């Protein structure tokens, strides 16, 4: 690992615990090549593999990937159906490598209206990897941050109604325990590909103090060198969390 850091000029102390990525640009990637949008989604798998491998090598604790949003159901049915098939294929093909590398898998988002077979595959991979102690890979599927916060508020209100939680006990920490990401550190670095400057309903609560890094690179073209570029920029920033510098 020391050789790896030295090769890319990275400071091990500056590597974020948690990286979150908005994987954007599959459709534009395909359009530029006069291919179908579905081909863009197919080619995106290589970017996912290389990003996961690099994060694991660097000792990143958590990687969250925005795979499918609650808004994506508005896309053509053929495209959505293909995305679900590609997701299942990816899980099937990558499971041996995930287990070998001690990666812990977790899916976040609303189960409904995901196909039952997709839910089953996601939960099965979570079960198989629950005891792994390597990189945690979080896949946001049928995810929307506003939906997540609403679901958390409902669960919190239910606990209060049952007398299991008092209003006085509700604070940022206790409320965070009702989010899908319970038990995970907040993201330190939020990456968005394709050059769009918005966070698209992704981790609104958790990314309050995340460093943002936007690249024009479309997701299917995203490789290790781009991630290293983001990490170098992250290492140059001073994170003050609302405070001031000591100088």
* Catalytic-role residue among 11, 26, 72, 151: 72
Cα distance between residue 60 and residue 28, in whole Å? 29
Cα distance between residue 18 and residue 14, in whole Å? 12
CA-to-CA dists, residue 234 to 15, 203, 217, angstroms: 8, 19, 18
Our answer to whether residue 24 is catalytic in this structure is yes
* Catalytic-role residue among 11, 24, 132, 151: 24
Q: What is the DSSP string of 130-199?
A: TT--S-EEEEEEEE-HHHHHHHHHHHHHHHHHTTSS-GGG-SHHHHHTTSTTTTSPPPSEEEE-TT----
List the structure tokens of 152.
């958390």
Our answer to whether residue 188 is catalytic in this structure is no
List the structure tokens of 226.
């781009």
H-helix or E-strand containing 45?
helix 37-58
Active site residues: 24, 72
């Amino acid at each position: 690992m020391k050789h790896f850091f030295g090769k890319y000029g990275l400071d091990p102390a500056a590597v974020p615990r948690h990286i979150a990525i908005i994987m954007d640009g599959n459709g534009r990637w395909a359009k530029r090549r006069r291919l179908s949008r579905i081909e863009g989604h197919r080619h995106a798998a290589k970017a996912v593999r290389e990003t996961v491998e690099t994060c694991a090598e660097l000792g990143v604790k958590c990687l969250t990937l925005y795979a499918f949003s609650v808004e994506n159901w508005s896309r053509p049915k053929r495209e959505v159906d293909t995305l679900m098939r590609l997701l299942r294929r990816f899980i099937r093909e990558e499971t041996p490598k995930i287990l070998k590398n001690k990666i812990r898998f977790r899916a976040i988002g609303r189960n409904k209206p995901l196909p039952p077979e997709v839910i089953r595959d996601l939960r099965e991979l979570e079960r198989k990897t629950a005891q792994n102690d390597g990189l945690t890979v979080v896949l946001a599927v049928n995810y929307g941050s506003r939906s997540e916060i609403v679901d958390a508020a409902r669960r919190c209100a239910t606990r209060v109604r049952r007398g299991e939680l008092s209003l006085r006990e509700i604070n940022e920490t206790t409320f965070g325990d009702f989010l899908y990401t319970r038990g995970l550190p907040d993201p330190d670095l939020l990456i968005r590909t394709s050059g769009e400057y918005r966070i698209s309903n992704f981790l609104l609560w958790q990314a309050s103090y995340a460093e943002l890094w936007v690249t024009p690179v479309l997701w299917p073209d995203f490789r290790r060198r781009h991630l290293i570029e983001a990490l170098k920029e992250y290492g140059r920033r001073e994170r003050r969390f609302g405070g001031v510098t000591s100088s």
